[in-house]
């Protein structure tokens, strides 16, 4: 039975890069037996312009009915003055919430061909392949009570609540374990158990879930040390699993180890393998419409979709190999270009990956 994919280009370069990812999907459909149906939808500023909402009911219904969502990016200066309730970002947050996407997967991969792009020494990062699994729907970003209150002496006080239920910890750690089983079978759980009770519980539950996966080596690290180790020796990690806020920070740090924002995909999954796949970068209004954006992060997001929602690991590998091949041929978009390489447009890069397939 064919799987349904909702395609949401969104705003800015989203339109250009998603078009290239769709080329890849169409190629897999035509030549490699991938049974998928692609459905077009709108989200973000583009959706606001057309319907008055960044997440129209129809888009949400389409997303619920699909097996996976491919998203470009949302946002841009055109919509910055809007009321916060209808800003493009609301479209993205609404989709995550409504679809129950609690596991955010952020790989940081540095292809040896691009080792020079990192600000770290090539030998520290070349060949880096780590996966950060961030809890996305709980923790301090959502905990109640929260707010700013005025004390008796008139001074104001801001407060947030870090709260995790056992079931929330269990499901994210289990996701990380399942992912590790498909990789190098090592999980590092990151917490601050020496200071925060909520993460003391996190560690206890992680150990309990870990016992269900005897093949996986589970270790623990305090978040301050994890930040240090990420820049000191990032290749020691296979899968890292952590809370919403720690994951937010560590995954951006890990992304910058690779030095190329246009290369990094991401996935947000629910408990049943349904997912939303998107590049980690934004809508890049500074280069939108110029045909110079790097589509590889979006194409690699398709590879993640094949692996995690469509159960097509061989095709996922094929796409990743095609990307590697393109890089080995010295083909580059502007953001990853260096002397001696061949500069391509967004569309030419998409075509090169399709040729590689
Ligand atoms: P950005 O990621 O859009 O751009 C940062 C820099 O990286 C820019 O110089 C841009 O040209 C470059 N860049 C990004 N993607 C690239 C690509 N594929 N190829 C080549 N260069 C690329 O971040 P920003 O400028 O801070 O934000 C722009 C807009 O995007 C804002 O409205 C922001 O809210 C939104 N945004 C959306 C998402 C999302 O949809 N998930 C994420 C981050 C930012």
The rounded Cα 98 to chain-centroid distance in angstroms is 17
Ligand 1, atom 25, residue with closest C-alpha: 284
Q: What is the pLDDT of residue 260?
A: 82
Residue 1 clears pLDDT 80, i.e. is over it: no
| Model pLDDT, residue 331 | 97
The closest of 292, 260, 265, 267 to 280, measured between CA atoms, is 265
Q: Is 44 in the pocket of ligand 1 (CB under 6 A)?
A: no
Nearest-atom index, ligand 1, CA of 281: 2
Per residue in 104-139, pLDDT (tens digit) is 999 999 988 888 888 899 999 988 999 999 999 999
- pLDDT tens-digit series, residues 270-293: 989 899 999 999 999 999 999 999
Q: CB neighbours of 223 closer than 8 A, spacing ≥ 6?
A: 190, 191, 192, 242, 246, 250
Task: Please tell me if the CB atom of residue 349 comes closer than 6 angstroms to any atom of ligand 1.
Answer: no
Q: Which atom of ligand 1 is nearest to the CA of 295?
A: 18
**Average pLDDT value over all residues in the chain:** 96
Q: Each residue of 254-272: b (16+ CB within 10 Å) or e? A: bbbbbbbbbbbbbbbbbee
Ligand 1 proximity of 281 Cβ (cutoff 6 Å): yes
Please report the beta strands in the chain, taking only residues with DSSP state E, as ranges in sequence order: 3-10, 36-40, 68-73, 103-109, 129-135, 147-150, 156-159, 186-191, 217-222, 239-242, 265-269, 275-279, 331-332, 342-343
Q: Cα(289) to centroid of ligand 1, in Å? A: 14
Residue 211 tokens read as 């016992």
Residue 77 CA: nearest ligand 1 atom is 32
Q: Is the CB of 139 under 6 A from ligand 1?
A: no
**Residues in the chain, overall count:** 357
If one counts every other C-beta atom within 10 angstroms of the C-beta of residue 11, the result is 29
| Active site (catalytic) residues | 141, 192, 224, 248, 252
Fold equal for 1-107+262-357 and 129-257: yes
CATH superfamily label, 129-257? Isopropylmalate Dehydrogenase (3.40.718.10)
Percent of the chain with pLDDT over 70: 100
pLDDT at 118: 86
Q: What pLDDT was estimated at residue 115?
A: 85
Residue 133: CB within 6 Å of ligand 1? no
Give residue-wise pLDDT tens across range 319-330. Answer: 999 999 999 999
pLDDT in tens, 14-34: 999 999 999 999 999 999 999
Residue 153 has pLDDT above 90, yes or no: yes
Nearest CA to ligand 1 atom 5: 284
Q: Which CATH code fits 1-107+262-357?
A: 3.40.718.10
Give yes or no for residue 74 CB within 6 A of ligand 1.
Answer: yes
Pocket test for ligand 1, best of 16, 281, 295, 335 (most atoms within 8 A of CB): 281
3-class state of residue 74 by DSSP: coil
Residue 77 CA to its chain's centroid (Å): 23
Q: Is the CB of 263 under 6 A from ligand 1?
A: no
Give the phi and the psi of residue 7 in degrees, each rounded to 5. -105, 115
**Which of 82, 251, 259, 282 should be mutated for ligand 1, with most atoms under 8 A from CB?**
282
Interval between CA 239 and ligand 1 midpoint (Å): 26
Domain boundaries, the chain: 1-107+262-357, 129-257
DSSP β-bridge partners for residue 134:
104, 242
Q: Measured in angstroms, how far is the CA atom of residue 144 from the centroid of ligand 1? A: 31
Ligand 1 atom nearest to 44, measured from its CA: 40
Q: Is 283 in the pocket of ligand 1 (CB under 6 A)?
A: yes
Global pTM reads 0.92
Beta strands 68-73 and 147-150 are: unpaired
Does 260 contact ligand 1 (Cβ within 6 A)? no
- Pick the residue with more confidence: 300 or 113? 300
């Amino acid at each position: 039975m064919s799987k349904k994919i909702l395609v949401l280009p969104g705003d800015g370069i989203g339109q250009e890069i998603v078009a290239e990812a769709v080329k890849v999907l169409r190629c897999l459909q035509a030549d490699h037996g991938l049974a998928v149906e692609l459905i077009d939808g709108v989200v973000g500023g583009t959706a606001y312009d057309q319907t008055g909402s960044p997440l129209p009911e129809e888009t949400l219904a389409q997303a619920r009915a699909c097996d996976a969502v491919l998203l470009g990016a949302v946002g841009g200066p055109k919509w910055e003055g809007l009321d916060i309730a209808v800003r493009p970002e609301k479209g993205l947050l609404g989709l995550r919430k409504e679809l129950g996407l609690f596991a955010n997967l952020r790989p940081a991969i540095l292809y040896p061909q691009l080792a020079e792009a990192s600000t770290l020494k090539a030998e520290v990062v070349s060949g880096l392949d780590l996966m950060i699994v961030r809890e996305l729907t709980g923790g301090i970003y959502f905990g109640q009570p929260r707010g700013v209150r005025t004390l008796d002496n008139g001074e104001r006080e801001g407060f947030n609540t870090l709260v995790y239920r056992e079931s929330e910890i269990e499901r994210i750690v289990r996701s990380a374990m399942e992912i590790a089983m498909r990789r190098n079978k090592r999980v590092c759980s990151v917490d601050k158990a020496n200071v925060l009770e909520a993460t003391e519980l996190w560690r206890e539950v992680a150990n309990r879930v870990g016992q269900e996966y005897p093949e996986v080596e589970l270790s623990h690290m305090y978040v301050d040390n994890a930040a240090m180790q990420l820049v000191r020796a990032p290749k020691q990690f296979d899968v890292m699993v952590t809370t919403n806020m720690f994951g937010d920070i560590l995954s951006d740090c890990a992304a910058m180890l690779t030095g190329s924002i246009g290369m990094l995909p991401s996935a947000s999954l629910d408990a049943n393998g349904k997912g939303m796949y998107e590049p980690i970068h934004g809508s890049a209004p500074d280069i939108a419409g110029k045909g110079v954006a790097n589509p590889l992060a979006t194409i690699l997001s398709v590879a993640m979709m094949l692996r995690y929602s469509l159960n097509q690991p061989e095709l996922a590998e094929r796409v990743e190999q095609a990307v590697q091949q393109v890089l080995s041929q010295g083909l580059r978009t502007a953001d990853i270009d260096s002397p001696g390489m061949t500069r391509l447009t967004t569309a030419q890069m998409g075509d090169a990956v399709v040729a590689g397939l």
